[in-house]
Amino acid sequence: MIRLAANLSMLFTEHDFLARFAAAAEAGFRGVEYLFPYAHTPQVLRTSLDESGLEQVLFNLPPGDWEGGERGLASLPGREAEFRDSVVEALHYAEALDCPRVHAMAGLLPPDADGGAREDARAAHHACYVANLRFAAREAAKLDREVLIEPINTRDMPGFFLSRQDQAMAVLEEVGEPNLRLQFDLYHCQIMEGDLTRHLERQFSRIGHVQVAGVPERHEPDIGEVHYPALFARLEALGYGGWVGCEYRPAAGTRAGLDWGRNYGLLP
């Protein structure tokens, strides 16, 4: 049975953040994810999870200056010490929240690099990325946690270093740590490459988490060009036992749009 997790950074935004846990539970979700936990203490978040009977399934490492436009630190040369500190902080939260996996956002390429300069920048980012991910995975392994990497489409996030599935798979192979896995967001993959079922099948052994949203507007999964029931059926046939994160923007209120998940335990 597909297990759905509410992304509290996008769903239930009708409520203050801490009230979203109870709202998600009342709507039938049994797990939650969100971008970042760091605005609250681990103890406050732990209480919200326990009172709602929810599991924490995913969150991101600190991303750098998010408000200033940064989108992760993992591939940024010269920021290695800051990245290592972010790993320590994220794993502290992961332990307190009993969260089995964290996502290390890759970061952005320099916007002023083009031609040969851009290739040089990409090579430097790649070397930094591999070294940082190897450090993060080895630290996470000490606590029996996974680190995830996620290709993100360059329409929503121009300049993002990791944008294609084959690039992600090559990085996983090069880093060589078994607890470094793929965060397979079907929305991002559809925008960049399509061929979702075949990507899912080829990469299945390396997938640690799945996320969904309608394409192209990032609304509910039953809005747009992707037929999610077929993809969910394929996930089940392959034996997927993880979570499916609902990382979409409701078109007209969260509960009003949950009918798509009725067959998976949600309560519109």
Query: What CA–CA distance (Å, rounded) separates 2 from 210?
Result: 11
Predicted confidence at residue 117, as pLDDT, reads 60
Phi then psi dihedrals of residue 163, to 5 deg: -130, -10
Q: Which two tokens stand for residue 22?
A: 């109870």
Instruction: State the pairing for strand pair 3-7/31-33.
Output: parallel
- Say if CB 95 and CB 72 are below 8 A apart: no
Instruction: Please check the confidence at residue 169 and state whether its pLDDT lies above 70.
Output: yes
Instruction: Please check the confidence at residue 28 and state whether its pLDDT lies above 80.
Output: yes
Q: What is the mean pLDDT of the segment spanning 152-171?
A: 97
Phi then psi dihedrals of residue 119, to 5 deg: -65, -40
Positive or negative torsion for Cα 58, 64, 69, 74 = negative
- Say if CB 58 and CB 49 are below 8 A apart: no
Query: What CA–CA distance (Å, rounded) separates 36 from 60?
Result: 6
Q: Is the backbone of residue 98 left (phi > 0), alpha (psi -120 to 50) or beta?
A: left
Q: Summarize pLDDT for 173-204 with one digit per residue, the tens.
A: 999 999 999 999 999 999 999 999 999 999 99
Query: What CA–CA distance (Å, rounded) separates 160 from 113?
Result: 13
Identify the helix (H) or strand (E) that includes residue 191: helix 186-192
Q: Which two tokens stand for residue 155?
A: 């329409």
Q: Which two tokens stand for residue 246?
A: 């609902």
Mean of per-residue pLDDT scores for the chain? 96
Q: Summarize pLDDT for 58-76 with one digit per residue, the tens.
A: 999 999 999 999 999 999 9
Predicted confidence at residue 115, as pLDDT, reads 56
Q: pTM, whole model, 2 decimals? A: 0.96
Options 55, 146, 220, 247, the catalytic residue:
247
What number of other Cβ atoms are within 10 A of residue 259's Cβ? 13
Identify the helix (H) or strand (E) that includes residue 103: strand 101-103
Q: Is 247 a catalytic residue?
A: yes
Q: What is the mean pLDDT of the segment spanning 97-117?
A: 86
Q: Is 201 a catalytic residue?
A: no
Predicted confidence at residue 183, as pLDDT, reads 98
Options 150, 173, 174, 217, the catalytic residue:
150
Instruction: Please check the confidence at residue 119 and state whether its pLDDT lies above 90.
Output: no
Predicted confidence at residue 113, as pLDDT, reads 55
Phi then psi dihedrals of residue 157, to 5 deg: -135, 75
Buried residues in 86-120 as b, exposed as e (16+ CB within 10 A): bbeebbebbeebebbbbbbbbbbbeeebeeeeeee
Predicted confidence at residue 116, as pLDDT, reads 61
Predicted confidence at residue 186, as pLDDT, reads 98
Phi then psi dihedrals of residue 76, to 5 deg: -90, 110
Instruction: Please check the confidence at residue 80 and state whether its pLDDT lies above 80.
Output: yes
